[in-house]
Amino acid sequence: MLPRYSISVCGGFERIACNEIQTRLKDTGELQIIDRKPKRILLSFSGQPRELLSLRSAEHVFLVIKKLSNVTRSRHSLSTLKKSLGRVDFRPHFEICRKVGIRLKKRVTFRVTSQLSGQRNFRRIDLQRAVEHGLMTYGWRLTHERPALDVWIEVHGEDAYVSIRLSPMEMARRDYKQAHMPASLKPTIAYSLVQLSDPQPDDVFLDAMCGVGTILIERAYSGRYRYLLGGDISGEAIDAAQINIGKKHRPRQLFRWDAGRLPLSNWSVDKIVCNLPFGGKIGDEIGNQKLYRQFLIECKRVLKPTGRMVLLTTQQSILENLFKQRRSFRVARKFKIDLLGQSPSVYVCLPR
């Protein structure tokens, strides 16, 4: 039986994560996507587990050591889980852990993180303790001080998964992000937005409100391009983007500019991807309404008739009203994602 893994992703981008998994891993080992759940992809894979740690859409990578079905509301489910853990052969799982650099001593140290949804007759802490007690029967030592294994128990609906987290905590943060600013976009989300733009080798790619440069960098890592263009009204943001991009990813240019007055020629850009300012975090609704209007006018001017634009915002009403008023773009696709307790929408737009 092939090892099973669970990949956590940003809610709303599950399809993009599946596409990346199939594209990156299809030639590196036997692969099967078993299930696609909200924020979670379950797969079996025979290749090197380190390959999974290179997925740019993944928040974290888990090795599934036990799945239980038909989990009920009853506390009896806890004893069933505990007994089931006592029958696991951990030797093949430990071999996979070692392949990704997890060091295991003779007496394994561990901690347990629990997640629980739905109405139950037990609490999340009860679930956590059941797993802790089940694993301590192997002689493992429970600790919260740098444990060798980070064990997760997740119960959603009628399914329970016990997994070992293989990815480091900083996996989704990216080591290139040396400079940070408030409301900076998560790299995994930036990657997914870039994929929606359909990256091509001859792209002139623009992020007109680039912040610290995350979208530009993720485009650079997504394959060949002709030119990267980025800009921001904040000099501090441009300085941060310069630090994060460093000397890599050329040719490219960064500008301090007003996104409503872009110093670019007509029809000079193939793709635009932008995280628009959110009223609750940056700017205000009245200011953003004016900014969005001027920005869309400029996007229509600089974007080629065959181009594509991908936008992210929580201020859907402002953007949609502008689309209706001007009719410069056709929304080819719209969907919501889960971002830090908010539900911003992603718009994939084509020029009319």
Residues, the chain: 352
Task: Give Cβ neighbours of residue 106 (< 8 Å, ≥ 6 apart).
Answer: none
pLDDT number for residue 284: 61
User: How far is residue 178 from each of residues 6, 212, 239, 240, measured CA to CA in Å?
Assistant: 29, 9, 11, 8
Residue numbers of the domain that contains 100: 4-170
Say yes or no: 185 and 158 in one domain: no
Say yes or no: 48 and 112 in one domain: yes
Is the pLDDT assigned to residue 52 strictly greater than 70? yes
Say yes or no: 111 and 240 in one domain: no
Mean pLDDT of 259-264: 97
- Report residue 279's pLDDT band, with 50, 70 and 90 as the boundaries: low
Residue 77 belongs to a domain with what CATH number? 3.30.2130.30
Which residue, 170, 191, 207, sits at the end of a domain? 170
User: How far is residue 201 from each of residues 24, 100, 207, 221, measured CA to CA in Å?
Assistant: 18, 32, 17, 12
As given in the structure block, the two tokens for residue 235 are 């000099």
Return phi, psi of residue 286, to 5°: -65, -45
Say yes or no: 19 and 157 in one domain: yes
What number of CA atoms fall less than 13 Å from residue 21's CA on the CB side? 29
Closest CA to 84 of 65, 100, 106: 65
Say yes or no: 102 and 232 in one domain: no
User: Pairing state of beta strands 4-8 and 40-45?
Assistant: antiparallel
Per-residue three-class SS string for 59-122: CEEEEEEEEECCCCCCCHHHHHHHHHHCCCCCHHHHHHHHHCCCCCCCCCEEEEEEEECCCCCC
Which residue, 126, 148, 170, sits at the end of a domain? 170
Mean confidence (pLDDT) of the chain:
94
As given in the structure block, the two tokens for residue 224 are 């060949």
- pTM check: above 0.75: yes
Higher pLDDT, 301 or 73: 301
pLDDT number for residue 285: 65
pLDDT tens for residues 62-71?
999 999 998 9
Task: Give Cβ neighbours of residue 311 (< 8 Å, ≥ 6 apart).
Answer: 273, 274, 276, 319, 346, 347, 349
Say yes or no: 16 and 87 in one domain: yes
Going edge to edge, which strands form the sheet with 4-8? 31-37, 40-45, 4-8, 60-68, 159-165, 149-156, 109-116, 141-142
Say yes or no: 159 and 266 in one domain: no
Instruction: For residue 338, give the 3-state DSSP assignment.
Output: coil
Say yes or no: 161 and 68 in one domain: yes
pLDDT tens for residues 177-219?
999 898 889 999 999 999 999 999 999 999 999 999 999 999 9
Say yes or no: 98 and 133 in one domain: yes
Say yes or no: 19 and 69 in one domain: yes
Say yes or no: 266 and 320 in one domain: yes
How far apart are alpha carbons 152 and 61 in whole angstroms?
11
Say yes or no: 21 and 96 in one domain: yes
Residue 237 belongs to a domain with what CATH number? 3.40.50.150
pLDDT tens for residues 81-132?
999 998 999 999 999 999 999 999 999 999 999 999 888 999 999 999 999 9
pLDDT number for residue 173: 86
How far apart are alpha carbons 180 and 239 in whole angstroms?
10
Which residue, 133, 154, 170, sits at the end of a domain? 170
How far apart are alpha carbons 17 and 21 in whole angstroms?
6
Number of separate domains in the chain: 2
Is the pLDDT assigned to residue 281 strictly greater than 50? no
How far apart are alpha carbons 301 and 176 in whole angstroms?
33
Mean pLDDT of 248-262: 96
Q: Which of 60-64, 155-159, 166-170 has the highest mean pLDDT?
A: 60-64
Alpha helices in the chain (DSSP H): 14-25, 76-85, 91-99, 124-136, 187-196, 214-220, 235-245, 285-302, 316-326
How far apart are alpha carbons 346 and 270 in whole angstroms?
19
pLDDT tens for residues 226-250?
999 999 999 999 999 999 999 999 9
Is the pLDDT assigned to residue 280 strictly greater than 80? no
User: Pairing state of beta strands 204-207 and 227-232?
Assistant: parallel
